[in-house]
A and B are shown apart, each in its own frame.
Chain A
Amino acid sequence: MNAAMLLSALLSAPGGEGSGFDIGRMMAIIFAAIFVNNFVLSRFLGICPFIGVSKQLDSAIGMGAAVIFVLAMAALGTWVVYYLLLVPMGLGYLSTIAFILIIAALVQLVEMILLKYSPGLYRALGIYLPLITTNCAVLGVSVLNIGERYSLGESVVHAIAAGIGFTLALILMAGLRQKIEMTDIPPSLEGKPIAFIIAGTMSIAFLGFAGMGV
């Protein structure tokens, strides 16, 4: 089996009937992950960093980028381990443990890379960088990819789109919160309460996409 055949088999399994690289399906997955089923505002995945890091626009963008990277790598790693290791050995039930360990290792890797190449961002993200491990979105995407039986290509695309959706929500939230700092809010609503209410209004806005036949 030469490399091209192997690659194409990897990219399309487990989608049967040679579904290969279907652009239409990809676009549907991307659109759904960013808008229709936005990971933060609709699926409730990734709330902790969403509320925690969304106070400043630049750290929001940095966090978003880090999360997209970890998401893509995690989707790749977990898919490969699940279909090429766990399933052939009948060990599907070990997926939760395997996935979270892969994610933890990946986050360690990202931390080391950032420390070496971008210490400013490393410091800005602070405690929230190792917390990407416990970001529900990362493990959530990996589990969803398996559940929806996406091929390798679809899984990675789904993960990146999920990350983009997360970053979009994060940036919108950061922008809004920076504006809110200057306004008059009832003191009992300052901080987290108003953040959640804003998130709720954004969620209503995103509900508008729900009627689209994706």
Chain B
Amino acid sequence: MPEMMKLGIVLMSVSLVAAVALGLVNGQTAPVIAVQKEMARQAAMTAIASSLSPGDSLAFDSIEVEGLENPYAGVNEALEVVRVSAPPDPEALGYLFLAYGKGYSSTIQTMVAVDLEGVVTGSIILYQGETPGLGANVAQPDRLIGRLAGLTGGECLLKKDGGTIDAMTGCTITSRAVVGSVADGLESMRGAGLFGPAPVGGAS
């Protein structure tokens, strides 16, 4: 019995020292991580919101929308909508939202800027953990993510699903995740009455 105690104490002391050391490092790094995440988010928001109103300094307000369905229940994230305006004019210029799509090896986060008629004006990948050199290319502006501008929710589909967007070679799952999540988000927002009547014929 005393031997068990001794073994247990040794293991516990090692673990205790380890836990304390990690606690200290965590205290240092956790705030840095949080700040970085926020900065990345802000940078993305500014980058695509400029497509709504180039050159103006913009204000972002998180809004609560009544009757907004969560299209991302499968990934447990709620649809958050940010209202964009150019102070001092209080009129809304458009909205930003974050779309979550289950990709091949990660949940891809796409930030989308959409105008008041429900037409996408810009989009950017905020987070993806897909295969480097393959699915990861979805984040490059001259590939998939750049093709979403000018589409409404109903048009946001891959060619193989009846729409106009080319999937990337060998990355059907990744392409579908991004396109599908954006389409779902747009539909949900339209269902909550955020958009005016859709423009006839699509692209503006």
Contact = CB atoms under 8 A, between A and B. Distances in A.
Interface SS of chain B: helix, strand, loop or mixed?
A: helix
A91 B19 CA distance: 9
Nearest to B29: A93
Contact of A17 (B15, B22, B70, B172): B70
Nearest to A212: B173
Contacts, number: 33
A81 interface: no
- For chain B, which range describes its interface: under 10, 10 to 19, 20 to 34, or 35 or more residues? 10 to 19
Contacts of B172: 210-211, 213
- For chain A, which range describes its interface: under 10, 10 to 19, 20 to 34, or 35 or more residues? 10 to 19
6 contacts: A19-B73, A19-B76, A37-B105, A97-B18, A97-B22, A211-B172
B7 to A, nearest CB: 13
B26 interface: yes
Given A37-B104, A93-B30, 7 more contacts: A16-B73, A43-B105, A93-B22, A210-B173, A211-B172, A213-B173, A213-B176
Nearest to A213: B176
Interface of A: 14-17, 19, 25, 37, 43, 91, 93-94, 97, 148-149, 210-211, 213
A65 B74 CA distance: 31
A211 B161 CA distance: 13
A93 B73 contact: no
B19 A210 contact: no
A168 B104 CA distance: 21
A16 B172 CA distance: 28
> Which of A19, A37, A93: most chain B Cβ within 10 A?
A93
B73 A94 contact: no
B18 A17 contact: no
A149 B173 contact: no
Interface string B153-177: 0000000000000000000110010
> Which of A14, A19, A43, A94: most chain B Cβ within 10 A?
A94
Nearest to B171: A210
A149 B76 contact: yes
A110 B22 CA distance: 30
A213 B172 CA distance: 9
Nearest to A92: B26
A17 B73 contact: yes
Nearest to A207: B170
Given A211-B172, A213-B176, A149 B73 contact: no
B75 interface: yes
Nearest to B180: A213
Nearest to B161: A213
Contacts of B173: 210-211, 213
A15 B22 contact: no
Nearest to B25: A93
Contact of A25 (B18, B26, B30, B74): B74
A94 B76 contact: no
B104 A15 contact: no
A113 B169 CA distance: 50
Contacts of A97: 15, 18-19, 22
